[in-house]
Every structure is written in C-alpha cells, then in structure tokens.
Amino acid sequence: MTGTTTSTSAPESPRRSARRLARDLPPWPVALLAGIGVVLFALPLVGLVARAPWTGLWTHLSSRFVVDAAVLSVVSSIAAAAVAALVGVPLAWVLARVSFPGRSAIRALVTLPMVLPPVVGGAALLFALGRRGVVGGPLHDATGLLLPYSIWGVILANAFVATPLVILTVEGALRNLDRRYEHAAATLGASRLRVLWRVTLPMIGPALGVAVVVAWARALGEFGATVTFAGSLGGRTQTLPLAVFVALESNRDAAVAISLVLVALSLGLLIALSDRWWPSR
C-alpha cells in the first residue's frame, strides 16, 4: 500500500564493531564492579544452599502443605501467564502501533504494577474488586462472585503483576519489527486480523515466548499482591511463596527446601532463555 521509504541504514557495521569490542578485556573498574555484582547475586544462593536440609529434602518437599502449595502455584501461575498474554499482547500492539493522545499515560498506567510495591497493588485490587469494592461490590451482589480468598483472586493478583512484563517485551519487539512484511501481506490482500495472525505474531514469536515465560516466572514468585488480595489459606490460596513465608517462622527447613525448588526452577528457566535474549552467534 504505502510506498515504504524506510531508511534502513545498514546495521551490520556498528554491530560488527560492537562484537569486536565485546571480545576485548574490560577496563579494570568495569571488571571489579561487575565482579562485585556477581558476588552480590550469588551470595544469597550460597546462603540458601548452605542452609539447605539436604538429607530430609524430599520429606519436606513431599509434605502435604508443600504439595498443596506447589499445585496451586503451578496452576495459578500458568493461568496468570495466559491472562497476561491475552491482555498484554493486544495492549502492546495498540501501544506500539496506534498513535493517540495520552498514549504515554496509558503505557505508564499499564506498566505501573512493575514498580508498585506488590502489597499496594494487592490492596488496590481489594478496594476495587473485593466484596465491598467499587466494582467487586455490585459484582458480588449481582452474581455472588467473590474474587478474594479464591484461586481466581490468586490468578488475578498474579496476572496484575505479570502482565506489564508481557506488554513491555512485546511492545519492544513490535517496534523493532520490519513492517515491510506486514505491508507486503496487506498489499497481497490479507485482512488486518490475518496479517496480525499470520505475519506479525509469528515474527515476534520468540519475543512473545520469552515474555510469557518471564511473566509466568514472575507470577510463580508473587507474594505481596497475592497475600493482600487473596489472603492465605492452605490448599486454597496459599501459593509456594506464601508457604515459604509462613514456614520460615515455624519450619525453617521446609522453607529453605521450597526456596531451593523455586530458585532452581527460575534459574533453569533463565539459563534456558538467555540464548533467546542474547543470541551467542
């Protein structure tokens, strides 16, 4: 349709020189500070591993309240990641493609949960969607539906904090997308929805995958919004992070065992993903 005059200044040469620089040894202050950074992040893991009750690990992990919490965590975090993708991708598309007044404000609004203390987010959800909430009140009166103290509340709280990660990642991918492919498809007669489905989404597929997995990991680790909005009850709303928090005060070995599982899971995931973020080739 439109005669695309995208000025694609060949990205090869700067990228190549950047690659050459990356092979160089870092200046010593950089190496020192980077080393301190590594220690900073590695130290807590060392503490956790040192504290771990290795002999009774399985006993702790197979106890009733841990299994309940694990099942709830897996189910609710996957559901939250699905919600995050379902809401986040369209939002990202609108933010990346549609120019409208107040776009920056909308972007700030939908990414706010990333920087907001989760407890504040949970309290806000409670005041909005609780039984006496602005929206939750009429909803409860009309349908009897009650989000807090249920798995729906957990999923909502998790999705609330996880969706911004999808929005930011996918919006970035959409902005970096070479739009000529979409234009070509449109020129060939594809409808907008078809372009989105057959061209755009497949092209941002890797970024979308990363976004969803990161959102899932964030949901899996969510604590503050969940406990504030959905409460904490074993078998119903007590996810793994909540179980860790409670167990830390009564059964520290179990808490450390759960923490190890969460760390192993998240670390494995991030290592698996790092190739997608930073292609080594």
Which residues here bind another protein, judged by CB under 8 A? 123, 126-127, 130-132, 146, 148-149, 227-228, 231-234, 236-238, 245-246, 248-250
Shortest CB 248 distance to another protein, Å: 6
Shortest CB 221 distance to another protein, Å: 17
- Taking the least distance from each CB to another protein, the nearer of 228 and 239 is 228
- Taking the least distance from each CB to another protein, the nearer of 216 and 229 is 229
Which of 15, 12, 6, 7 lies closest to 179 in space, CA to CA?
6
Shortest CB 130 distance to another protein, Å: 5
- Taking the least distance from each CB to another protein, the nearer of 216 and 223 is 223
Exposure class string for 235-257: b at 16+ Cβ within 10 A, else e: eebbbbbbbbbbbeeebebbbbb
- Taking the least distance from each CB to another protein, the nearer of 181 and 245 is 245
Could you tell me which residues come within 8 angstroms of residue 208 by beta carbon, excluding any fewer than 6 positions away? 85, 89, 169, 170, 173, 201
Shortest CB 139 distance to another protein, Å: 14
State how far the Cα of 111 lies from the Cα of 91, in Å rounded to an integer: 11
Alpha-carbon distance values, 11 to 7, 16, 39, 169 (Å): 11, 9, 35, 21
